[in-house]
A and B are shown apart, each in its own frame.
Chain A
Amino acid sequence: MRLSKFLSTTSFFTCLLVSFAFVSCDVLSSGDDNLQPPDTYEFTRDGASSVAYPGQTDRLNMLGEMDAYLGRGDDGQTLSEQVLLDMYTNAGGDGGGNFSFTSDRQLANKTFAPDRDEQLFENLFADAAAASQNGANGVTASDGTAGLLVRENSGNTILVDEKGREFGQLIEKGLMGAVFYNQIFNVYLTDARIGPDVENEDLAEGANYTPKEHHFDEAFGYWGVPVDFQSDWPEDREDEPRFWGHYSDVVDNVRDGMLGTNSTIMDAFIRGRTAIVNKDEAALDEQVDILYEQLELVAAATAVHYINDTLGHLSAGNTGEAFHTLSEAWAFVNALKYSPRRAITVDQIETIQNSRFGQNGNFWKVTADGLNQAKSTLLNVYPDLEPVQDEL
């Protein structure tokens, strides 16, 4: 039902009058087709929030707890393949007893289909568990042998495979791509979920949102940020953005905020959601385009950031630190493949992973030339990174 301008103006003044008495005042009732984008990712209907993404929050928490479990392998304890599988499939609703919470969601069934076909993560769990036996026996990793490497700056160890790749990064960042980005890119931002034909009048059963609104919120939920996230994010709140939100923040403020990904992406989410409320398809498309481009840019920028770090660590003689950051770079390059609109080709991704980061993806064979070529490829494909290539 639509309110006339007169009515809405009247109700606005009425509101203004009573707002001294009531805490909240709902100007923007359903069907108002002229919502202005709010400052934060907060939307209401009839005075109550219309935003919900508990399933995404669950999955972020699952990955967080899997990551903590993988940390035991870094510390030289043994890892159980079964525990990792149970967490991945959320066996019994509590990750086989390994989650601190219960949920009816899981990471496994949201994983990029080709990765599932190849058993990519199941194989990594098996390899990590096997390697952790070496770690528990105090085996130092070397070319061809999985085991532990010391990160020189902290003295902590990491568990790496026979190619020097850190399992924790391959799995954690791997799932950030194969689940979180995959779901944003291939599910929630697609026409099937937020296109013109998706229900945007009637509310979903028992909910305060339309299906279209909710799908968009689920994309936002996978990004992992507080609702008031923005550029030049304060240091005392830097723990709040998680996973992709955290990495946006890592690259946001280079050279006086030249990339500014936090606000660019946040604004696109807010404006996109506003466009859905306003039933403005053109405005929504515009924001979705920005999201595809900028979310991909974050992964590419983070990859360049970690290539730079790797060169620095190698130059300083720190192999453990270097293999940690190169594992990060490897996984962030990998994440680029999940966007159907990717600017980079699968060939380029695989060349970086399997040649530039060492022959056959073996970090022990990585060279300065290879790292610089990988960086050049990324700068060519993502020219926005050119001016900040050395500061990332």
Chain B
Amino acid sequence: MSILNANALRPKGRSRKKTWQSLFLGLAFISPWIIGFLSLVLYPFGASLYFSFTSYNILSEPQWIGLQNYQTLFADPRWVTSIKNTMYYVLVCVPVGVVLAVALAMVYHQRMPGRNLMRTLMYVPLIVPPVATGILWLWMFKPIGGLFNTVLAWCGIQGPTWLGDPDWAKISLVMIAQWAVGGNVLLLLASLADVPKQLYEAAEIDGATLWHRFWHITLPMISPVVLFITITGLIGAFQAFTEAFIVSGGQGGPADSTLFASLYIYQKAFRDFDMGYASALSWVLFLGILAFTGLTFRLSRKWVVYDRS
């Protein structure tokens, strides 16, 4: 339709030819992406929906079983546990991460000696491979002789067994995730640098307090980036995998307390080769992510300010 409309706007045959030419040229340039999109996004997307209605152990052909996978998953205690774990992780990790990133960005934004070096060092944990991160924190969380409990012992506190305790394991993973907050801080710092100085000067003349200036100028000005890190944080947290895999040896323990949805999907797909069921699980997770990001976008209309003038 759009092609016909565009042609209708062009009166001469020569420009019509040009329209086709440029369309062909444009598609030729983006062809690598088109191939990738069709074969590695669109097809797998549809195929996983199809597989989710089948029983498929990858040795024999997929067999259509209708909604059976979806009925099974509601009664699957490990899936229910993994969803609860994932929700807990998302609802704690994302808000904590966003607030921490904004707070840190405010600190590193201040003029002070050694600012660039400190910003760099704060970013450095993102360079560490997640497998190394997992093993390193496993070592720091060691109940006896670990760094955390040693420091707590100095303060006269008997520390928990962290990753060994079902009540503390998820909190531990939230802490590990915060170690890599530097990427978001970097984005916020770039945004803070762009806030017009006149706004603060005007507010200062009006006698606005530090808190007022933050709440009424800084926060609205950086709100698009806050939304961005919230959305990417949500999508990331829903799919948290590597650190949980490392600290639990791929099991999601202790007592399934770090069994996140993606870890359970991995186990079902690549350990049990139950591809149909795993596909159904991945679709449920996908719909959850879709709902949450959709809701976040909707709510963002109330607090994100796009007009910076």
**Do A and B share a complex?**
no
